[in-house]
Amino acid sequence: MNKKFYDERQQQDADRNGRKAFEGTFFVLAAVIIAQMILAQGDVRQVLGETIAILAGGGIYLGLTVKDGNLNRHTPRVMENLIISLSCGVFFALLFIVTMYLKTAGRTSLQVLGIWGAGCMVLFFVLGMAVLTILAKSAERRQKKMEEKYDE
Amino acid sequence: MKNMKLKIARMEKNLSQIQLAKMTGVTRQTIGMIEAGDFNPSLKLCIAICRALDKTLDQLFWEEDDL
């Protein structure tokens, strides 16, 4: 057995700790961005660094997950993607409405907020569905390639 | 579940955990954790341990139903 820096138990521990650290960093960054945008009335430019970091980290994680063919534990279900996209749409629409209301110091009418909120929800819903569908298809293709490669 | 078979086999060979660890390319803690049943080694490591102790996989790692 080759002598490595870590043995397999230590490697497993390191991998687990790395994953937890990434998840922690990801959610703290997301919380910091939201808090800065809403509570501190920040500008997008003020959270640009955090946004780039979270997008890069999330993108690399997703990309590697798709590459390994591990995105779908089971056959992708349209209903599951619909629920996730809808949840994201509602969450970001609410976030957008609250941010807009606070930024304009309550001067924006509820009707305008409602229209913008609905638009935001549709946008994120469509975006979510598109991303999830593309990722699911890519993962499916990757899984098929792996099956062909390791077929008896 | 503790792996007493491994511990006994190691002692029969008069090997310390450190010696077995060196022979198999892992740390002493890993051997200790395998013996204590706190870590499931890979098949590759199981085979390395079996070779080091002149035992088969069955002799060291097979769990009988009544155990």
For residue B52, being part of any structural domain is answered with yes
Least reliable range by pLDDT among A97-101, A126-130, B2-6: A97-101
Answer for the pair B24, A1: CB distance below 8 angstroms, yes or no.
Answer: yes
Answer for the pair A12, B40: CB distance below 8 angstroms, yes or no.
Answer: no
For residue B66, being part of any structural domain is answered with no
Q: What is the pLDDT of residue A111?
A: 86
Cα–Cα distances in angstroms (integers) from residue A71 to residues A28, A44, A80, A133, B18, in the given order: 23, 31, 13, 11, 40
Answer for the pair B9, B55: CB distance below 8 angstroms, yes or no.
Answer: yes
- What domain count does chain B have? 1
Q: What is the pLDDT of residue A59?
A: 92
CA distance A137 to chain B (A): 32
pLDDT mean over A124-136: 90
Q: What is the pLDDT of residue B55?
A: 96
Closest Cα in chain B to A13 = B39
DSSP string over A67-79: HTT-S-SS---HH
Cβ of B27 and A3 within 8 Å? no
Assessment of whether the complete model's pTM goes beyond 0.90: no
CA distance B12 to chain A (A): 23
For residue B9, being part of any structural domain is answered with yes
**In this structure, what CATH number is given to the domain that contains residue B39?**
1.10.260.40
Around Cβ B60, how many Cβ atoms within 10 Å?
19
- Residue A72: both structure tokens together: 């779908």
Position A139 confidence tier, pLDDT thresholds 50, 70, 90:
confident
- A5 has a chain B CB within 8 A of its CB: no
Give the ipTM of the model, two decimals please: 0.78
For residue B27, being part of any structural domain is answered with yes
Rounded percentage of chain A residues whose pLDDT exceeds 90 = 41
Cβ of A9 and B29 within 8 Å? yes
| Whether residue A1 has pLDDT greater than 50 | no
Answer for the pair A72, A139: CB distance below 8 angstroms, yes or no.
Answer: yes
For residue B56, being part of any structural domain is answered with yes
State pLDDT tens for residues A68-88.
877 766 665 788 889 999 999
Top pLDDT among A76 and A124 is at A124
Expressed as residue numbers, the domain containing B29 is: 4-61
pLDDT mean over A5-29: 94
For residue B54, being part of any structural domain is answered with yes
Q: CB-based burial of residue A24 (10 Å sphere; 0-12 exposed, 13-18 middle, 19+ buried)?
A: exposed
Closest Cα in chain B to A5 = B26
- B29 has a chain A CB within 8 A of its CB: yes
CA distance A3 to chain B (A): 6
Q: What is the pLDDT of residue A73?
A: 62
Q: What is the pLDDT of residue B36?
A: 93
For residue B67, being part of any structural domain is answered with no
For residue B21, being part of any structural domain is answered with yes
| Whether residue A2 has pLDDT greater than 80 | no
Instruction: Output the average pLDDT for chain A.
Output: 86
Residues of chain B with pLDDT under 70: 65-67
Give A-chain residues touching B45 at CB under 8 angstroms.
1, 8
- B41 has a chain A CB within 8 A of its CB: yes
